[in-house]
Amino acid sequence: MPKPILTHSYCADFYADHGYQFLKTLSQTHTIPDNLVIFSVMHSYEGSLPYINVLAELADKLVFIPKDATLGATPGLLTTISTIPHCHVVSTQNNKAYLRNPAHCEAMIRQYIDVETPFLILDHGGYFSYAISHICETFQEQCIGITELTANGLQKYLDKPLSKPLVSVSHLSIKMPADFEASECIVHYSDQILREEFGLKINNSGFLKTGVIGAGNLGRGVIKHLKAKGITNIHVADFDPRKLTQFPRDGIKACSINHLVEHCNMLFCCTGNQSITPEMIDNLSQPMFISTVTSADDELHLPDLLANDVLTEVHSNALTKEYKNKQGHSVYLLAGGESANTPFKTGMGDPTLYLFEAAHMLAGLKLLDNPHQFKRGIQALSEKDEMMIAEQWLKHFYHYA
């Protein structure tokens, strides 16, 4: 077997190989059907290469669907990914918006299968959610099941009738370390973009008042890293008031989303589910800086805001997009509205990313090995499987005994 392609430009071979060996060892414990096709939605990070290689070795074809957020930031990486044996990079037109159309989604799948090909969908962010009922019905004998990596992606599947099992790994405890790692990157790179584009420091309280919408893993992580930068006057809001009860004792202002948007001008949107409404945009009385942990599509429903003239784009570059509301107040989307770490070379910071990749892969392997152990509809990976992944990860990277 040829040596796997684990690096593109800058990552250490040692580190990438260490992650590859961990995922490879885990993958060898399950039976894989012949002629399997895996459709995998994934970020175009260099740090994803070990995982992509392992999936490509499992499948007869791995169909790689790059997420919109990192598609433009790393065009050369797609060329590298396309050279991995058995890996097929889809046309860049097959993005999230394209796959929302069931007919388009079906046509994309048919490009890579024949009438007897079994296939598995490893989703990330609900790319297949809009068409999934049609796909399950159309490919009843071939579609083995779906796995979903993220909480905001799972949210998009909740109201869809599913005739196949969907195994979610979005709320596993072993995802928490990677979520906190991501939140550190998002705070760091938001600060870097503010410095580069506006000459502002994120902890300059004379100019910026900071608010965090969403008190899940990522929101709490953002707050932790904001505090580490010396920011003390932080507002936090969430749709679920129960999640806010932990903050007042730490000197953090718990408030409604409306109050937060009214009083803060540096927002971290951490819900993945329209944290800011068109009415809030209309009522802005000052310029606003926004950093998201998912995308402006998820957090603001940006295409609708533009289509309905709630916002008008006036300027953009590699790091920032500026829009104006009807009153002429600017809305600055850091990283163009994508997660603030996506314009940079991230994904190899530490081995926590292999925890959630292992869970995502294992959910698919369990479906392939014995799909009858799962019922139709949404379910979580078992606690036993999660503990096994944690133990193997600790042994592999930290000599846990």
Give yes or no: residues 287 and 214 share one domain. yes
Euclidean distance between CA atoms 19 and 12, whole angstroms: 11
Give yes or no: residues 123 and 22 share one domain. yes
Give yes or no: residues 162 and 26 share one domain. yes
Q: Is residue 2 part of a domain?
A: no
Residue listed under structure tokens 């995502």 = 360
Euclidean distance between CA atoms 393 and 385, whole angstroms: 12
Q: Is residue 342 part of a domain?
A: no
Residues of the chain with pLDDT under 50: 348
Give yes or no: residues 55 and 117 share one domain. yes
Give yes or no: residues 95 and 71 share one domain. yes
The boundaries of the domain holding residue 107 are: 13-171+350-398
CA distance readout (Å), 316 to 55, 312, 319, 321, 369: 36, 12, 8, 4, 48
Q: What is the separation, in whole angstroms, between the first and last Cα of the chain? A: 32
Label residue 301 left, alpha or beta by phi (over 0 means left) and psi (-120 to 50 means alpha). Answer: left
Q: Is residue 66 part of a domain?
A: yes
Euclidean distance between CA atoms 288 and 281, whole angstroms: 9
Task: Tell me what pLDDT residue 321 has.
Answer: 95
Residue listed under structure tokens 């993958």 = 27
**pLDDT tens, 211-233?**
999 999 999 999 999 999 999 89
∠ CA(163), CA(123), CA(21), 5° rounding?
125
In contact, 48 and 42? CB cutoff 8 Å:
yes
CATH number reported for the structural domain that contains residue 260 in this entry:
3.40.50.720
Pairing verdict, β 330-334 and 320-324? antiparallel
Residue listed under structure tokens 């603001």 = 300
Give yes or no: residues 333 and 197 share one domain. yes
Give yes or no: residues 157 and 137 share one domain. yes
Domain count, the chain: 2
Task: Tell me what pLDDT residue 91 has.
Answer: 82
Give yes or no: residues 81 and 183 share one domain. no
Q: Is residue 345 part of a domain?
A: no
**pLDDT tens, 319-376?**
899 999 999 999 999 988 888 777 665 554 578 989 999 999 999 999 999 888 899 9
Give yes or no: residues 205 and 293 share one domain. yes
Where would I find the beta strands (DSSP E) of 274-365?
288-292, 312-316, 320-324, 330-334
Give yes or no: residues 163 and 302 share one domain. no
Euclidean distance between CA atoms 221 and 225, whole angstroms: 6
Give yes or no: residues 152 and 184 share one domain. no
Give yes or no: residues 195 and 224 share one domain. yes
Q: Is residue 268 part of a domain?
A: yes
CATH number reported for the structural domain that contains residue 154 in this entry:
3.40.50.1480
**pLDDT tens, 184-199?**
989 999 999 999 999 9
Euclidean distance between CA atoms 28 and 10, whole angstroms: 29
Q: Is residue 232 part of a domain?
A: yes
Report, in angstroms and rounded to the nearest whole number, the Rg of the chain calculated over CA atoms: 21
Angle between helices 383-398 and 13-27 (to 10 degrees): 140
Which tokens is 136 given?
Answer: 């399950």
